[in-house]
Amino acid sequence: MINGSSDTESAFLELKRFQSAPRNQWPGVTDEDWSDYRWQLRNNIRTLAQLEKHLTLSPEEKQGVLLTETKLAMAITPYYLSLIDPADAHDPIRRQIIPRIEETHEDEMDMDDPCGEDSHMPVSGLVHRYPDRVLFLVTDRCASYCRYCTRSRVVSGAGDQHLETDFDRAIQYIREHTEIRDVLLSGGDPLLLSDDKLDYILGELRSIPHVEFLRIGSRIPIFLPQRITPELCSILRKYHPLWMSIHTNHPRELTIESREAIGRLVDAGIPLGNQSVLLRGVNDDVTVMKALVQKLLMARVRPYYIYQCDLIKGSAHLRTSVRKGLEIMENLRGHTTGYAVPMYVIDAPGGGGKVPIMPDYIIDHDSERIMIRNFEGKIFEYPEPEGEGINIGEPEYDLDWQRDRKW
């Protein structure tokens, strides 16, 4: 192997290596405290003074931290903060969690509610966008706050708009709408609720006969793996089929601690998927994404979605091009395990829902045959059955819908 490529290969393997969170910045803390989620939450980093004890901030970051009183708040668990390399100003974990002054910049297309959730809420805190499933926002708090949060208009409680979930009416709505077979708990982070409250909500939902499928969206296994206690797992496992989507963006977020937390969930019978957001300077890179999806499989997590970053206000500095996303997908499909390849989606601005985005594998298609290309660029032909073929099942486009657009 030539020198250059063996360097790349060892950097790739290094990204995939599971390591423990370094604790050298937290000298006097006992193992017992460090592995107690309540200690982590009590010691959450929320102020400039606390943060500056651990990191030397740039002027852009310092100004960013100071403005978080009025918008999405800052919070960083000591555990997650310890994953940042203090010597690297461009650390991919740092970029996700440390506020920057660029958050005050607004691009022309930026929105407060990029996925149009507020206009699809039949009950406060319940989003009914798709025919057979609902998104149930059960809290506005997270263990730490991602700077590109798509729900930053309500999350953390710092801004003007507040999440006021009406639990009784939301559960009543689900009970009355027999078409709802899938309920997705999100927020905020549902696993920040107490064991008792989660037990209550899941119990209520499970008592509804037409609710077949429950799932939880959570970043706790990454921000606060200590929260995944045996007690929590024994509550969750009562409500099967229960699935979970976690949120990992960079392979260094998958530590030994998070792998163990994920293992406890999987051992409780919970199938895990991962959602990533494509972020400039974090994971808009083929090598990083490939390491991430392969490492997820080793942690027993199936990569589910890669999201193009929503047009959330103040996130332009973290967004990257769709072209880059397509390049990443092109370099995954066929080049690595099919289970490791997520679906790349854009949540259509204004409330169109998730739309899959794929490199073009169809070169030509008519009533007689389809011409396709594979991951190596080789071209193949597959015949259509006589008399079938194109126009069967072709979608009709609604060209007039924009007349009614609400934003």
Peptide bond into 241 cis (omega under 30): yes
Using CB under 6 A as the binding rule, the residues of this chain from 100 to 119 that contact ligand PLP are 115
The piece of 58-66, 77-85, 126-134, 252-260 that touches ligand PLP (CB under 6 A) is 126-134
DSSP per residue over 311-357, as a string? -BTT-GGG---HHHHHHHHHTTBTTB-GGG--EEEEEETTTTEEEE-
Query: Between residues 115 and 254, which has the closer beta carbon with respect to ligand PLP?
Result: 115
Query: Between residues 77 and 139, which has the closer beta carbon with respect to ligand PLP?
Result: 139
Is 239 tagged catalytic? no
Closest CA to 154 of 194, 123, 112: 112
Is 310 tagged catalytic? yes
Site track 151-190 with ligand PLP (rule: CB under 6 A), x = hit? ---------------------------------x------
Distances (CA, A) of 156 to 69, 72, 95, 131: 10, 6, 19, 29
Phi and psi at 307, nearest 5°, equal: -95, 135
Q: Give the number of residues in contact with ligand PLP, rule: CB under 6 A.
A: 8
Catalytic residue among 79, 94, 142, 148: 142
Angstrom distance (rounded) from CA 135 to CA 122: 11
Contact flag: residue 354 with ligand PLP (CB under 6 A): yes
Distances (CA, A) of 86 to 75, 89, 318: 17, 7, 20
Query: Between residues 93 and 293, which has the closer beta carbon with respect to ligand PLP?
Result: 293
Is 146 tagged catalytic? yes
Residue 401 CB, nearest distance to ligand PLP (Å)? 18
Contact flag: residue 129 with ligand PLP (CB under 6 A): yes
Distances (CA, A) of 78 to 7, 15, 40, 56, 73: 32, 22, 6, 16, 16
Query: Between residues 115 and 236, which has the closer beta carbon with respect to ligand PLP?
Result: 115
Query: Between residues 245 and 283, which has the closer beta carbon with respect to ligand PLP?
Result: 245
Q: What is the crossing angle of helices 195-206 and 167-176, to 10°?
A: 20
Q: Is 127 helix (H, G, I), strand (E, B) or coil?
A: strand
Residue 174 CB, nearest distance to ligand PLP (Å)? 13
Contact 151, 116 (CB under 8 A): no
Is 133 tagged catalytic? yes
Contact flag: residue 127 with ligand PLP (CB under 6 A): yes
Residue 133 CB, nearest distance to ligand PLP (Å)? 5
Is 309 tagged catalytic? no
Is 168 tagged catalytic? no
Catalytic residue among 94, 149, 307, 344: 149
Contact 238, 202 (CB under 8 A): yes
| Binds ligand PLP by CB under 6 A, chosen from 135, 146, 289, 329 | 135
Catalytic residue among 85, 112, 118, 130: 130
Residue 131 CB, nearest distance to ligand PLP (Å)? 10
Angstrom distance (rounded) from CA 111 to CA 315: 10
DSSP per residue over 380-394, as a string? EEEEPPTT-STTTTP
Distances (CA, A) of 157 to 48, 80, 160, 163, 303: 18, 21, 8, 8, 30
Is 149 tagged catalytic? yes
| Binds ligand PLP by CB under 6 A, chosen from 130, 167, 239, 243 | 130
Token duo for residue 68? 């978080």
Burial of 209 (0-12, 13-18, 19+ CB in 10 A): exposed
For residues 48-59, one letter each, b for 16 or more C-beta atoms within 10 angstroms of the residue's C-beta and e for the rest, the string is: bebbeebbebee
Angle in degrees, CA 339, 344, 345, rounded to 5: 135
Is 354 tagged catalytic? yes
Is 259 tagged catalytic? no
Query: Between residues 15 and 134, which has the closer beta carbon with respect to ligand PLP?
Result: 134
Is 233 tagged catalytic? no
The piece of 42-50, 127-135, 162-170, 362-370 that touches ligand PLP (CB under 6 A) is 127-135
Contact flag: residue 277 with ligand PLP (CB under 6 A): no
Contact flag: residue 133 with ligand PLP (CB under 6 A): yes
Catalytic residue among 71, 94, 100, 133: 133
> Residues with catalytic annotation?
129-130, 133, 142, 146, 149, 151, 310, 347, 354
Report the interface residues with ligand PLP, using CB under 6 A. Answer: 115, 127, 129-130, 133, 135, 184, 354
